[in-house]
């Protein structure tokens, strides 16, 4: 019966890997991206897709940048919007189309004191409740 390598090398200090083998990253030419400009340059030229580029998951659903405004901010600025011609006043109710202002969502932070008819794409339930309590309405665009 012959001896296998592990039994044969059991007493040796380096166990068959030379003086610096299995210590650090000496026999590999460095760790990670070391040497891409020097001794691993040919690998970098042959396989650039393995070294650079995007990794991980990518979403296949387009993300929409949503601009939002709170009802308190809209309450403060509604009169200046009327002066600028971006909102109108009909039957003591302010009418504003937030989509024309570049705002897609109405949020419910703050208090509202003026009756408004707001046309908006997205609205929180809290904002819708506050506008209806003030005597206005929300039109979903």
**Residue 139, Cβ density class (10 Å: 0-12 exposed, 13-18 middle, ≥19 buried):** exposed
pLDDT score at 68:
94
Residues near 80 by beta carbon (within 8 Å), at least 6 away in sequence: none
Contacts of 101 (CB under 8 A, 6+ apart): 81, 86
Pick the CATH number of 68-140 from 3.30.413.10, 3.90.180.10, 3.100.10.10, 2.60.120.20: 3.100.10.10
User: pTM for the full model?
Assistant: 0.56
The string of pLDDT tens digits covering residues 1-58 is 677 888 888 888 878 788 777 777 877 888 888 888 899 899 889 988 888 777 778 7
Give the C-alpha separation, 137 to 117, whole Å. 5
pLDDT in tens, 102-118: 999 999 999 999 999 99
Res 1: pLDDT: 67
Domain boundaries, the chain: 12-51, 68-140
């Amino acid at each position: 019966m012959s001896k296998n390598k592990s039994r044969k090398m059991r007493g040796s200090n380096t166990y068959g890997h030379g003086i610096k083998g299995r210590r650090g990253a000496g026999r590999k030419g460095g760790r990670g991206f070391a040497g891409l400009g020097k001794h691993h340059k040919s690998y970098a030229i042959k396989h650039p897709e393995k070294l650079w580029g995007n990794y991980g998951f990518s979403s296949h659903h387009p993300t929409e940048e949503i601009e939002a405004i709170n009802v308190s901010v809209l309450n403060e600025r509604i009169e200046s919007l009327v002066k600028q011609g971006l909102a109108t006043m009909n039957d003591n109710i302010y009418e504003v189309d937030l989509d024309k202002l570049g705002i897609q969502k109405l949020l419910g932070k703050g208090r509202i004191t003026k009756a408004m008819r707001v046309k908006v794409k997205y609205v929180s339930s809290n904002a819708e409740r506050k506008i209806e309590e003030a005597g206005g309405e929300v039109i979903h665009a």
